[in-house]
Amino acid sequence: MILVTGATGNVGRQVVGQLVAAGVGVRALVRRPEEAALPGEVEVVGGDLGAPETLAPALLGAETVFLVWPFPSAEGASGVLDTIAAHARRVVYLSSSRVRDDLDRQPDPISGLHAELEAAIAKSGVEWTILRAETIASNALGWAAQIRDTGVVRGPDLAAKPVVHERDIAAAAVRVLTEHGSHAAATYVLTGPEVLGRADQVRLIGAAIGRSLRFEPVPIAAARARMLADGRPPALVDALLAGADGPPQPAPITTAVYDLTGTPARSFADWAADHAADFG
């Protein structure tokens, strides 16, 4: 039995579906079971990573946990990991490619959060594997309203990245989750096959839906002010925009998706075609 946290998110839902397709027993941890809308083969259990005392029913009999941390800080993670370690043997953690092993101090809040979680997992006593994902293609779904309404996507022009399809992250996760003993204490960086800026991504979405779209850069200060005015917590805004006004960091492409799954990573054009209906 594999317990999937974040089971209704873009990556978690893919992990659940691919595990079901592989004939693996799956249990999903969700906060609102009545709204989960997961396949019938999935055992849906209510619980909240923000309340470790609610996790025991979901962990009962689960040997492996796919862990997605949904909070902007690592507060409370130690209690969650203690509870997991009391029941399960393995944790596969969805981390970020922003984490830098060559630095004593991480360069931004997101990498700092994930580095702290990675270290805590390594000390928890469970067998672990880390999947450091690049920018996830499904983040572009946040542009859907702008694309439908105006055909113009406005936002900060963040550094170009090898954006990775959530299906590829899930495929790599499923391989690690189901191959016991082969990936202990391993860290994999999952990327897409090409480095793309936001304007490139918008153009490819336009090609997929048959419309001419454009990206309009917004200064970082204006983007921050808009996000704060929309009611987003300052800590979350700082995390989302971390490094946006600094020099771009190298974004190497890896072969980890192919190495783990035997299938090349999907392109962003593939992702846009898969999600064309979301932008129509």
pLDDT tens across 122-163, in order? 999 999 999 999 999 999 998 999 999 999 999 888 889 999
Average pLDDT, the chain: 94
pLDDT at 280: 86
Query: Using CA atoms, how far apart are residues 10 and 29, in angstroms rounded to an integer?
Result: 14
pLDDT at 48: 97
Tokens 């992990």 belong to: 15
Q: Work out the end-to-end distance of the chain between its first and last CA atoms, rounded to an integer number of angstroms.
A: 38
Q: How far is CA 262 from CA 171, 189, 255, 270, in A?
A: 10, 15, 10, 18
Domain map (residue ranges) of the chain: 2-138+163-192+249-266
The dihedral through the CA atoms of 34, 38, 43, 45 has a sign that is negative
Q: What percent of the chain has pLDDT over 90?
A: 82
Query: Using CA atoms, how far apart are residues 166 and 247, in angstroms rounded to an integer?
Result: 27
Q: Is the pLDDT of residue 22 over 80?
A: yes
pLDDT at 247: 63
pLDDT at 243: 66
Q: Is the pLDDT of residue 262 over 70?
A: yes
pLDDT confidence tier of residue 223, bands split at 50, 70 and 90: confident
pLDDT at 231: 80
pLDDT at 180: 83
pLDDT confidence tier of residue 248, bands split at 50, 70 and 90: low
pLDDT at 169: 98
Query: Using CA atoms, how far apart are residues 198 and 228, in angstroms rounded to an integer?
Result: 22
What's the whole-number mean pLDDT along residues 85-94?
Answer: 97
pLDDT 10s digits, 26-68: 999 999 999 999 999 999 999 999 999 999 999 999 999 999 9
Domain 2-138+163-192+249-266 CATH class label: alpha beta
Burial of 128 (0-12, 13-18, 19+ CB in 10 A): buried
Nearest by Cα to 123 from 61, 185, 53, 54: 185
pLDDT confidence tier of residue 234, bands split at 50, 70 and 90: confident
Query: Using CA atoms, how far apart are residues 149 and 171, in angstroms rounded to an integer?
Result: 34
Burial of 269 (0-12, 13-18, 19+ CB in 10 A): middle
pLDDT at 187: 98
